[in-house]
Each structure stands twice: as structure tokens, then as C-alpha cells.
Amino acid sequence: MARLSATKSAEAAAHIHSFQFMATAQKRVLFELLRGEEANYFYDTVLEIAKTFKEMPKTYDQDGEGDKAKAYIHLFNNSQDWYITEKDSEAEQIQAYGLKPSGNMGYINMVELAEHFNIEVDFHFSPTTLKEIKAGI
């Protein structure tokens, strides 16, 4: 079984704790997976999510792009999907902007989603234009 070094474990844990857009249940599962035989895969996944979130556009950066705007994070539960196109520019990420389950664009309170809607972060999502997302719905 490939175990993570203490340094990598601490780095992954710090990122996971900072993911305000991730529900507590999914965080717990990630911590367990980082102790399992696929720890290195999930370590890389955590780093990729952290990088994507750090580098994604801030609010209004894609203003006027319409369906050419890209979604960078996909959140979902058993019946709904949220596609995050922009994040707050504040240090504490509470609000984002993106495509809501209603099909409309709008502000999304990520902390509320994580705490009350049993959402998960899609680990396999790659940045995709809204046009492509809407075509696939």
C-alpha cells in the first residue's frame, strides 16, 4: 500500500480544510481515501481542485462572455447541478457565480450549499463552456 508522506498528508489536509464549497461528508471521505491504497491519486486530485479554485476567474472576470464563459467547478447532489464560473474576490470564499439548477445564472452561496444541500464536488470535471454544459443537459 502506497502511503503519503507526512508532508503530503499535511498539505492535502490543509487544502481540504480550506474547501468551503465541499460538504463535511465528502471531506471525511477524502481524508479516508488519503490513507488508503489510492492515496497518491487522491492527493493529486486534491491539489488539482485547489489549483483550479485558486486560478479560476473572480466575479465579473467573464462578464459579457455569455455561453462562452467557462465553468471551473461542478457541484452536484442527487437531483441538482451547479456550475461555478467565477468566485468571490474576497479571501473567505462564501459566494460564487454560475449556472444554477434552474438554468439561470446567478450568485451561489457555496457555504450554504455545502452545509444544507448535501452537495459533492465532481472530481472528474474539467473546465467547460456553458454552451457545452447546456448542450449536454
pLDDT of residue 92: 66
Question: For 8-33, what is each residue's pLDDT tens digit?
Answer: 999 999 999 988 889 999 999 999 99
Does the pLDDT of residue 44 top 70, yes or no?
yes
Q: pLDDT-based confidence at 91, cuts 50/70/90?
A: low
Helices then strands, each counted (H, E), the chain: 5, 7
pLDDT of residue 1: 57
The answer to whether the beta carbons of residues 89 and 96 sit under 8 Å apart is no
Concatenating the DSSP letter of every residue in 69-94 gives SEE-EEEE-SS-EEEEEEE-SSSS--
What average pLDDT score do residues 109-128 get?
A: 92
Question: For 46-89, what is each residue's pLDDT tens digit?
Answer: 999 999 999 999 989 999 999 999 999 999 999 999 999 999 87
pLDDT of residue 88: 85
Domain-wise residue ranges, the chain = 6-136
CB neighbours (10 Å) of residue 108?
Answer: 22
Burial (CB < 10 A; 0-12, 13-18, 19+), residue 11, is: middle
